[in-house]
Amino acid sequence: ETLCNQIAAGEVVERPAAVVKELAENSLDAQASRLVVSLERGGRSEIRVVDDGVGMDADDALLALERHATSKIASVSDLQAVRTLGFRGEALPSIAAVSRFELVTRERDAVAGTRIRVEGGMIRSVEETGCPPGTAITVRDLFFNVPARRKFLRSVDTEWAHILDLCLRLALARPDVHLQIHHQGRRTHDFARTGSLAERVGQVLGHDTARLLIPVSTEKEDVRVEGLLGPPELQRANTRGIFLFVNNRPVKDRVLQHALLSAYDTLIPKGRYPSSVLFVSVPPDQVDVNVHPTKREVRFRRPSDVVGAVREAVLEALSKGIQ
């Protein structure tokens, strides 16, 4: 079992940012409206995710640490219509197999909560505890028991950059969730809940930048394209200002990025990139988001439709926005 979990961990947990992603997605699945992500040393020594979601009772909490026990996939056809973020039921056991792991959780109406400690996949203690409603998971010393993987962890700055990138994408996808980020004991980001994407984009990219962005919102057949496009003069030397989402999930997809960039083609010199936040929505059966558990690629059933719709939407918005 433990070995099995360690192997699975290699698939799910490639670096601290992957742990943050799994924990944060679970919190969002649990209807959290507030998420606090705290890190020590770029997540290498400690990752802590605290939510105010529905929490778990003691039985569910133990079950959650058993591999595959909670997989929501009942049949192969379900794979094609994954709507919730979590679906594999192996993230928590995988993470707990390669760290010193602590889960503290309480359901809103329960009189007491549960604290479970796991070390390298071995359950060390299960106890009742007083705690606020919701779930707090702490992951310390990632890969402490897998030296071969620990070696591949990069510098604190690099791991922190990956986590921050992920958190900013989550923040953009969920303006309705209050997101706080702490690193090395310092609060680095605090995005208050808001009803509006524009406001959240302002919080994330800075309000001066956000004011310059050009709104896009179109629907063509099955493809909805919404977001905020950077004007050509807001160009930068890398693609870090490009935030792409498919069905509200952050993705890094060459096909989509190319569609976006091709619309800017004559407006921005080669090697320069716009800043843009773009949400593409297609019916769930038109996209496969499960190409790889940790990669953010997607596979569209009809890529040319999506590319066409994105390109057209962006071209139209830009031509209106740049008078």
Q: Between 14 and 226, whose beta carbon lies closer to ligand ADP?
A: 14
CB of 147 to ligand ADP, least distance (A): 25
Q: Which residues contact 101 (CB under 8 A, 6 or more apart)?
A: 95, 117, 118, 119, 137, 138, 139, 140
Q: Between 179 and 197, whose beta carbon lies closer to ligand ADP?
A: 179
Beta carbons of 202 and 210 less than 8 angstroms apart: yes
Q: Between 82 and 146, whose beta carbon lies closer to Mg ion?
A: 82
- Residue 98 contacts which entry, Mg ion, ligand ADP, none (Cβ below 5-8 A, type-dependent): none
- Residue 51 contacts which entry, Mg ion, ligand ADP, none (Cβ below 5-8 A, type-dependent): ligand ADP
- Order of all β-strands in the sheet with 113-119: 122-129, 113-119, 100-106, 134-140, 46-51, 34-40, 178-183, 186-191
Distance CA 8, CA 124 (A): 21
3-class DSSP string for 12-44 = HCCCHHHHHHHHHHHHHHCCCCEEEEEEEHHHC
CB of 131 to ligand ADP, least distance (A): 13
CB of 56 to ligand ADP, least distance (A): 5
Distance CA 185, CA 246 (A): 33
Q: Between 107 and 159, whose beta carbon lies closer to ligand ADP?
A: 107
Q: Between 54 and 278, whose beta carbon lies closer to ligand ADP?
A: 54
The owner of tokens 């604290």 is 115
3-class DSSP string for 248-312 = CEEECCHHHHHHHHHHHCCCCCCCCECCEEEEEECCHHHEECCCCCCCCCCEECCHHHHHHHHHH
Name the residue among 275, 38, 9, 39 with its Cα closest to residue 157. Answer: 39
- Residue 230 contacts which entry, ligand ADP, Mg ion, none (Cβ below 5-8 A, type-dependent): none
- Residue 53 contacts which entry, Mg ion, ligand ADP, none (Cβ below 5-8 A, type-dependent): ligand ADP
Q: Between 193 and 220, whose beta carbon lies closer to ligand ADP?
A: 193
CB of 87 to Mg ion, least distance (A): 8
CB of 146 to ligand ADP, least distance (A): 19
Which amino acid does the sequence have at 265?
D
Q: Between 84 and 238, whose beta carbon lies closer to Mg ion?
A: 84
Chain contacts with Mg ion (rule: CB under 5 A): 26, 86, 91
CB of 73 to ligand ADP, least distance (A): 9
The residue at minimum Cβ distance from ligand ADP is 86
Distance CA 6, CA 97 (A): 6
Per this entry, what is the length of the chain? Answer: 323
- Residue 92 contacts which entry, Mg ion, ligand ADP, none (Cβ below 5-8 A, type-dependent): ligand ADP
CB of 298 to ligand ADP, least distance (A): 18
- Residue 70 contacts which entry, Mg ion, ligand ADP, none (Cβ below 5-8 A, type-dependent): ligand ADP
Chain contacts with ligand ADP (rule: CB under 6 A): 22, 26-27, 30, 51, 53-56, 64, 70, 72, 86-92, 135
To 10 degrees, what angle do helices 16-29 and 156-173 make? 20
- Residue 260 contacts which entry, ligand ADP, Mg ion, none (Cβ below 5-8 A, type-dependent): none
